[in-house]
């Protein structure tokens, strides 16, 4: 792992609160955060762009689902592979090469023959540059040790902007034609990756040198694998709202409410992350992980009430987003602590893959239950998944050493 920035002696006297504003004023922090967000914006654009492209091309939802699944599968497999390359060779070559290949695949997809569309979508996912692991690997090199947890929290909150702004950019780009959203995703992703990789922090970062590299990489840590299982279950929970909230809106005669409810969930996560960020350096991530998972259990169980009143449903949806950023912040800290030397980037990439797999399962389950008219059961499944994640996480944190608390 990267050596943390040296902490001045004055910090031991009485450290000031680590607010989001204070973090963003640190050298390199704002550029790293916003360039990573720009480079990751296709994550919030491509799924919708693929669906709209398929529909505008006269194809059914089944074909759209296959294209989206191919892209997601590629992301799950390609992220760890490219992140391992970063852990071996540094960030620039894997990120730039991935961005170029992925952007070319996305830009060419609207003109690709139908028979080749699935492989091209798969390549676009496989080559997606792992900016998320790259960013989290860099935080210890540009921040004081006590500021890193706050940066993780701010990062977890800010990524919600990807899923709010991404669809809006796609809708605007679609005005240029059926493949406009895919071309826009290609341009934005390439520009964001270039902005990130030309930063001083990224170009100067060097992977840790060691002689005991194992072919399993971070997966040789049993506690890390169990933690991934927990986050997969959290992904099931988070995959439910995208489908279930649309089903609720249609059942209550207001399909136009669906985007607002999805945005409300993201807004709740934004609130949760920004409010948790200043407290993160002074909290025990082992305890707060369990508390955050308990919040997910309670808030998603509350959503199973599925009130007909839109305002009440909106309030419950906002509440359901509050627990996710603290959970992710604590998981990021534990991954950083548990990852074997020289595998930090890949460890974060496997975390993302586990979350993506879980969210795909959650969306599929939500779709089946919603089609059968069991909307309340859909949210109960989400709550149950977080309850199981809580039990799994409890087994992990018992054996993890305590944090340094300022």
Quick one: average pLDDT of 270-285? 86
Residue with tokens 């439910």: 240
Q: What is the pTM of this model?
A: 0.79
- Residue 306 gets the label, from left (phi > 0), alpha (psi -120 to 50) or beta, of left
Q: How far apart (Å, rounded) are the C-alpha atoms in residues 46 and 187?
A: 12
pLDDT given at position 221: 85
The count of structural domains within the chain is 2
**43: enclosing H helix or E strand:** helix 29-56
Question: What's the whole-number average pLDDT of the chain?
Answer: 86
pLDDT given at position 15: 53
- Band of pLDDT at residue 402, cut at 50, 70 and 90: low
H-only helix segments in 57-113: 61-89, 92-108
- Band of pLDDT at residue 17, cut at 50, 70 and 90: low
pLDDT given at position 162: 87
Instruction: Please give the residue range of the domain that contains residue 334.
Output: 214-398
CATH no. for residue 163? Answer: 1.20.1250.20
Task: Mention every residue, 6+ apart, whose C-beta is less than 8 A from residue 144.
Answer: 4, 5, 7, 11
- Band of pLDDT at residue 406, cut at 50, 70 and 90: very low
Least confident range of 78-92, 149-163, 373-387: 149-163
Greater pLDDT, 62 or 150: 150
Examine the fold and report which residue of 166, 184, 207 is the final residue of a domain before the chain moves on: 207
pLDDT given at position 308: 87
- Residue 126 gets the label, from left (phi > 0), alpha (psi -120 to 50) or beta, of alpha
Examine the fold and report which residue of 157, 190, 207 is the final residue of a domain before the chain moves on: 207
Q: How far apart (Å, rounded) are the C-alpha atoms in residues 405 and 245?
A: 39
Quick one: average pLDDT of 218-227? 88
Convert the pLDDT of each residue in 243-264 to its tens digit: 788 788 888 877 667 778 877 8
- Sign, CA dihedral 103-106-112-118, equals positive
Q: Are residues 393 and 291 in the same domain?
A: yes
Residue with tokens 């990489």: 217
Examine the fold and report which residue of 156, 185, 207 is the final residue of a domain before the chain moves on: 207
Residue 393, token pair as written in the block: 């996480």
Q: Do 269 and 322 touch, CB atoms closer than 8 A?
A: yes
Quick one: average pLDDT of 161-190? 88
Whether the predicted pLDDT of 128 surpasses 90: yes
pLDDT given at position 400: 63
- Band of pLDDT at residue 184, cut at 50, 70 and 90: very high
H-only helix segments in 90-113: 92-108
Does the residue 7 lie in any domain? no
Convert the pLDDT of each residue in 318-339 to its tens digit: 999 999 999 999 998 899 888 8
Q: Are residues 286 and 350 in the same domain?
A: yes
Q: Are residues 159 and 121 in the same domain?
A: yes
Residue 260: closest CA among 314, 321, 307, 299: 314
């Amino acid at each position: 792992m990267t050596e943390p920035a040296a902490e001045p002696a004055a910090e031991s006297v009485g450290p000031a609160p680590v607010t989001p504003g204070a973090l963003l004023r640190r050298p390199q922090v704002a550029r790293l955060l916003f360039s990573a967000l720009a480079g990751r914006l296709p994550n919030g654009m491509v799924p919708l762009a693929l669906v709209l492209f398929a529909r505008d091309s006269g194809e059914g939802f089944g074909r759209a689902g296959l294209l989206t699944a191919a892209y997601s599968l590629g992301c799950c497999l390609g992220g760890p592979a490219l992140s391992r390359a970063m852990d071996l060779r540094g960030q620039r070559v894997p990120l730039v090469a991935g961005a170029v290949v992925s952007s070319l695949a996305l830009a060419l997809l609207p003109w690709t023959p139908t028979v080749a569309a699935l492989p091209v979508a798969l390549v676009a996912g496989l080559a997606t540059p792992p900016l998320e692991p790259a960013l989290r690997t860099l935080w210890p090199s540009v921040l004081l040790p006590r500021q890193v947890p706050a940066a993780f929290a701010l990062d977890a909150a800010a990524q919600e902007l990807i899923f709010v702004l991404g669809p809006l950019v796609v809708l605007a780009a679609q005005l240029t034609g059926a493949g406009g959203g895919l071309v826009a995703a290609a341009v934005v992703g390439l520009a964001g990756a270039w902005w990130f990789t030309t930063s001083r922090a990224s170009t100067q970062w060097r992977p840790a040198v060691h002689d005991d590299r194992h072919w399993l990489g971070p997966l040789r840590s049993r506690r890390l694998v169990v933690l991934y299982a927990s986050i997969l279950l959290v992904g099931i929970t988070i995959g439910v709202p995208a489908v279930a909230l649309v089903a609720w809106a249609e059942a209550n005669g207001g399909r136009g409410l669906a985007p607002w409810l999805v945005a409300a969930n993201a807004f709740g996560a934004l609130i949760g992350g920004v409010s948790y960020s200043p407290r993160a350096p002074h909290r025990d991530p082992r305890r707060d992980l369990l508390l955050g998972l308990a919040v997910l259990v309670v808030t998603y169980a509350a959503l199973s009430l599925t009130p007909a009143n839109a305002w009440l449903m909106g309030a419950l949806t906002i509440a359901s987003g509050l627990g996710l950023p603290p959970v992710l912040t604590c998981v990021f800290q534990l991954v950083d602590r548990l990852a074997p030397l020289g595998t930090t980037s890949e460890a974060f990439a496997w975390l993302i893959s586990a979350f993506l797999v879980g969210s795909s399962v959650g969306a599929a389950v939500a779709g089946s239950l919603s089609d059968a008219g069991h909307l309340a059961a859909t949210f109960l499944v989400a709550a149950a998944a977080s309850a199981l994640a809580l039990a799994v996480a409890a087994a992990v944190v018992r054996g993890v050493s305590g944090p340094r608390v300022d």
